[in-house]
Chains A and B, each alone.
Chain A
Amino acid sequence: MNLVIARPEGLYCPAGDFYIDPWRPVERAVITHGHSDHARWGHAHYLAAEPCLGILKARLGHINVQGLPYGQTLEHHGVKLSFHPAGHVLGSAQVRLEVNGEVWVASGDYKTQYDPTCLPFEPVRCDTFITESTFGLPIYRWQDPTELFDQVNAWWRANAAQGRPSVLYCYAFGKAQRILASIDASIGPLIMHGAIEPLNRMYREQGVVLPETRYAGDVEDRTLAKTGLILAPPSASGSTWLRRFPDYAEAFASGWMQVRGNRRRRGIERGFALSDHADWPGLNWAIEQTGAQNVYVTHGATDVLVRYLRDKGLNAQIFKTEYGDEDDTPPASDDAASPAEDAS
């Protein structure tokens, strides 16, 4: 029996008559995490893991939402539903569905690497696993986070020694806080873009320990930035907002930075391959841990992962979804020169 099917509105559970991370407005939406491509506006009823409520309310305002602690079961139209940590961002969850002993798990987005700002990914045994595949290629194998943050620290320290502000682009929700919780805050002040600072507050309210940060708009002493680490969303790159940090050095923290060409296309000096998604070994490890014989692959390198899993003897298929709009959006491809261009 198919506990989840693909519908134009999103992934749908017919037995329970609800959707998981739907991209069109529906009556009942089960939300895996607060990134905007998974948690959209306009549903009548929301259900999410308890620690996800903070971000949902911050992003979507007054919605009709119910929280469920990780691991607790809720029964709805004969479907047993529970949330399990996905290790992606604060409050992110895998959705476990059980009907008559058959178990399906929808992963949402997940990672298997250590992250001090959220609970680690918890493998859940199931018959069918719905996995993301954002970084579903063997070239994506993340460096140990300790080593990676050593590099970030070294970069920041070297800039600070020269009196250059260090601007690090990262996604405002999840990635920014993970960076804050992992870097060596003794190097200099931490200065936040307006898109990030409110989310830091929300994290702290939920008990996540972050070092002291300042909202850029409140920083009056401009010399502070000279040794500072400035976190800003990628959209701030090239904007006038950066004018307040003369002679800044810039870097981008994203899994896509694993490939040099991606960094070059962004025109950025330094890339740190830091992602909140599973890398290739992580995806394969997670799939194996579930013991699932059936795997549905959503957004990312779906074709590659499906073929690879089939070669390993699993029953793998693609679920076409509309995720992947906000978090870790792949870099835009080159503006290919038109061959038809007439240059006579």
Chain B
Amino acid sequence: MKQFAALYESLDGMTANNARLAAVVDYLRNAPPEDAAWAVYFLAGGKPRQLVPTRLLRELAQELSGLPDWLFDECYHAVGDLAETIALVLPPPTHSVDIPLAQAMTQLLALRLLNPPQQQAELREMWQAMDRWQRLVSIKLITGSLRIGVSRLTVTRALAQIGKLDPKEVAQRLVGYTAGQAAPDASHYLALIAPPDETGAARGGQPYPFFLAHAYAQPLDVMAEQLGPSDHWQVEWKWDGIRAQLVKRAGEAWVWSRGEELVTDRFPELTAAGMYLPDGTVIDGEIVVWLQDRVAPFSILQQRIGRKNLTARILQQAPVVLLAYDLLEWQGQDWRQRPQRERRAQLQEVVAACNSPALSLSPLLIAPDWPAYAELRTQSRALGVEGLMLKAQAAQYGVGRTKDVGTWWKWKVDPYSIDAVLIYAQAGHGRRANLYTDYTFAVWDKPMGAPDRMLVPFAKAYSGLTDEEIRQVDALVRKTTVEKFGPVRSITPSQVFELGFEGIAASTRHKSGVAVRFPRILRWRHDKPLQEANTLADLQELLTPAQPPSSIA
């Protein structure tokens, strides 16, 4: 625990990416594999569920430090972080015991099974032997709030360096590593850094890293020049659903969402369809609710996901299909390096052979040229889709947001959309005067993982939510108010919304450096963690013309 706390402490302050990488490599090299297994889990963003209620931690801290409520509050106010406050006010340690991270995790995870007095007794004993940083880390582990300023890419690189592996291979092995309530052990860690595996037999239910699309926002008249002839491209609708991979191996089927979350249980229809696929098949596509021969609004899918129990009624009211658009593995072989057109051709055969109502193809759109596609695109709204996807026929399937082996473009109807964080709210007018309906949204000023990231306001939006959603936001605003400035309330940032706007221009009048035209809320991204909201750099990227695609056949 000491070494891990020290790693946390040094990463907490480091700003240079190579220094962070070196620190992570150094830690992992020196840690026993069972500790490294947990360290990777946390570095990659894994979070165990909250193990002890926050209230109990605070009570115990006050009891041990002898602080009255008001004085603890003053401390919390000065520190701004509950775990850190507790770590600072606890009396000095009486002795020092260095428990290895894996063992400490076993102890911490066991806390959940204890009753409150037992939990307090355990914690009392643990804290007595811990210094300030160990306490801080342990409390953050207990509350599931440990955030380490390291990007997933850094972790991937560190593991690649240690195992002398291609980072892409590591990225693939890392998929699902932090999913759910995993308890990683030495074997999991060793599998991450094991020599490359040719057969793929050991893959289990692991999906591939998703290949992510970039926004395309160029005027029609430059498209032919930038993208080449339209018949070099595979064009599909851009579905508004949940990106997912259906994995079938060794007689079992798994469904993974883009958040690398195993969602097999949420979609029994897809698991059933997967059973009709041959072993060694991985399909990439979009999960949508399909009703009366068309895609239903995303909110219906969202409601279904929100349900704890999938009753027969829900399955009937909101049946899902996987709109398949790519084939990543076939007959146990990794197909990602094959050209898009070849993958598509095989995908069509696979889907046809499967013959399951829950698995259908995302249809190809055929038009003679870009203007004709632009015409098609105007139907998007009516069809409930977000626009078009453009995929080069000759391109490979890349990893994440890479552009080195091909690019997927999302050519949305609304050319500009950004995932932003709600930070201020103001009461509305007239009928809505008693509700907080006018919102200010912000984006991050630095990339994910950067320390000291701040939210920079960039747009105000009034419309786009349903009445029910407005009521929910209103309640949230009241509950999480930090400060009031006249009619405006600042709130604890917690919610991400997708904002659409018609135009964007550089502006020196705005703190963000950009001014957007006609911003409105497209939807509430319940699925997006705060950290994944867009950044100022993303906004600025919309200002500059997109790079021409790097590989066109």
The answer to whether B378 has its CB under 8 Å from any CB of chain A is: no
Contacts of A212 in B (CB 8 A): none
Say yes or no: B70 contacts A139, CB within 8 Å.
no
Judged by a CB distance under 8 angstroms, whether A339 is at the interface is yes
* Interface flags, A242-274, vs B, CB<8A=1, else 0: 000000000000000011110111011111000
Cβ–Cβ contact A139 & B75, under 8 A: yes
Q: Do B79 and A259 have beta carbons less than 8 Å apart?
A: yes
Check: A137 CB closer than 8 A to any chain B CB. yes
- Check A138–B89 contact: CB distance below 8 A: yes
Query: Closest residue to B66 on the A side, CB-wise?
Result: A138
Q: Binary interface profile of B, 46-89, with partner A (CB < 8 Å = 1, else 0)?
A: 00000000000000000001011011001100111100110011
Across the interface, which residues of A come within 8 angstroms of B357, CB to CB?
Answer: none
Contacting A at CB under 8 A, from B149-190, are none
Indicate if the CB atoms of B88 and A341 lie closer than 8 Å: no
A139-B452 contact in complex given A261-B79, A308-B71, C-beta closer than 8 Å: no
Distance between Cα atoms of A306 and B210 in the complex (Å): 58
Chain A 306-343 interface mask (CB, 8 Å, partner B; 1/0): 01100100000000000000000000001001111111
Are A269 and B15 also in contact (CB < 8 A) when A259-B79, A343-B459, A344-B519 are?
yes
Other CB < 8 Å A-B pairs besides A264-B452, A307-B71, 12 of them? A138-B67, A138-B89, A139-B78, A139-B79, A139-B89, A259-B79, A259-B84, A304-B74, A340-B488, A341-B511, A343-B458, A344-B515
Can you list 22 pairs linking A and B with CB atoms under 8 Å apart? A137-B78, A138-B88, A139-B79, A139-B85, A141-B88, A259-B79, A260-B12, A261-B79, A261-B80, A261-B81, A267-B452, A269-B13, A269-B14, A304-B74, A307-B70, A337-B442, A340-B488, A341-B440, A343-B512, A343-B515, A344-B460, A344-B516
Q: B460 touches which one: A270, A271, A342 (CB < 8 A)?
A: A342
10 A-B pairs with least C-beta separation: A139-B88, A269-B13, A264-B452, A339-B488, A339-B424, A343-B459, A139-B75, A138-B89, A337-B457, A270-B13
B29 interfacial by beta-carbon distance below 8 Å? no
B102-115 vs A, CB cutoff 8 Å, 1 = contact: the mask equals 00000000000000
Q: Which residues of A contact B (CB under 8 A)?
A: 137-139, 141, 258-261, 263-265, 267-271, 301, 304, 307-308, 311, 334, 337-344
Q: A141–B91 Cα gap in the complex (Å)?
A: 9
**In the assembled complex, which residues on chain A have CB atoms less than 8 Å from the CB atom of B452?**
264-265, 267
Q: Are B78 and A339 in contact (CB-based, < 8 A)?
A: no
Min CB distance, B513 to chain A, in Å? 11
Is B511 in contact with A259, judged by CB distance below 8 angstroms? no
The DSSP consensus for interface residues of chain A is loop
Residues of chain A within 8 A (CB-CB) of B519 are 343-344
- Chain A residue, CB-CB nearest to B454: A334
Q: Are A138 and B65 in contact (CB under 8 A)?
A: yes
How long is the Cα–Cα vector from A268 to B15 in the complex, in angstroms?
Answer: 8
Chain A residues with CB under 8 Å of B517's CB are 344
Residues of B within 8 A of A343 (CB): 440, 457-460, 510, 512, 515-516, 519
Measured in the bound complex, the distance between the Cα atoms of B80 and A341 in whole Å is: 25
- Assess whether B17 is interfacial by the CB under 8 Å rule: no
Interface of B, helix, strand, loop or mixed by DSSP: mixed
Chain A residues near B13 (CB, 8 Å)? 263-264, 268-271
Q: Is the CB of B84 within 8 A of A260?
A: yes
Tell me the B426-447 residues at the A interface (CB within 8 Å): 426, 440, 442
Is A259 touching B512 in the complex (CB atoms < 8 A)? no
Chain A contacts of B516 at CB under 8 A? 343-344
Interface residues of chain B, those whose CB is within 8 Å of chain A, are 12-15, 65, 67-68, 70-71, 74-75, 78-81, 84-85, 88-89, 92, 423-424, 426, 440, 442, 451-452, 454-460, 485, 488, 490, 510-512, 515-517, 519
B348 to chain A, nearest CB (A): 46
Within the assembled complex, what's the spacing in Å between the Cα atoms of A63 and B41? 65
**Please, how many angstroms separate the alpha-carbon atoms of A22 and B510 in the complex?**
43
Least CB distance from B86 to A in Å reads: 10
* Chain A neighbourhood of B459, CB < 8 A: 343-344
B440–A339 contact, CB under 8 A?
yes
Q: How far is the CB of A230 from chain B (nearest CB, A)?
A: 18
Residues of B with C-beta under 8 A to A311 = 68
Residues of the A chain whose Cβ atoms lie less than 8 Å from the Cβ of B515: 343-344
A339 and B80 contacting across the interface, CB-CB below 8 Å:
no
A138 touches B71 (CB 8 A): yes
Return the contact of A259 from the options B78, B424, B457, B488 (Cβ within 8 A).
B78
In the bound complex, what is the Cα–Cα distance between A270 and B13 (angstroms)? 6
Other-chain contact of A339, B68, B75, B490 (Cβ < 8 Å) = B490
Residues of B within 8 A of A267 (CB): 15, 452
Q: Which residue of B440, B485, B515 has the most chain A CB atoms within 10 A of its CB atom?
A: B440
Quick check: B75 and A137 within 8 Å, CB to CB?
yes
Q: How far is the CA of A258 from the CA of B517 in the complex (A)?
A: 44
Chain B residues positioned under 8 Å from A342 (CB to CB): 460, 510
* Chain B residues, Cβ within 8 Å of A337: 423, 442, 455-457, 511
Docked Cα-Cα span, A304 to B73, in Å, equals 11
Chain A residue contacts of B512, Cβ below 8 A:
343
Chain A residue with minimal CB distance to B91?
Answer: A141
Which residue of A has the minimal Cβ distance to B488?
A: A339
**Shortest beta-carbon distance, A68 to chain B, in Å?**
38
Name A334's closest neighbour in chain B (CB-CB). Answer: B454
Contacts of A307 in B (CB 8 A): 70-71
List, in ascending order, chain A residues with CB within 8 A of B75's CB.
137-139
> Cα distance A251–B418 when bound, in Å?
37
Tell whether, in the assembled complex, residue A341 and residue B455 are in contact, meaning their CB atoms are under 8 Å apart: no
Q: Complex Cα distance A141/B12, Å?
A: 21
CB of A187, distance to nearest CB on chain B (Å): 19
Greatest chain B CB density within 10 A among A259, A271, A304 is at A259
Query: Which interface residue of A137, A258, A267, A343 has the most chain B CB atoms within 10 A?
Result: A343
Inter-chain contact B78/A341, CB cutoff 8 Å: no
Closest to A136 in B: B74
B46 to A: closest C-beta gap in Å: 22
Q: How far is the CA of A298 from the CA of B265 in the complex (A)?
A: 63
**B424 CB contacts on chain A under 8 angstroms:** 339
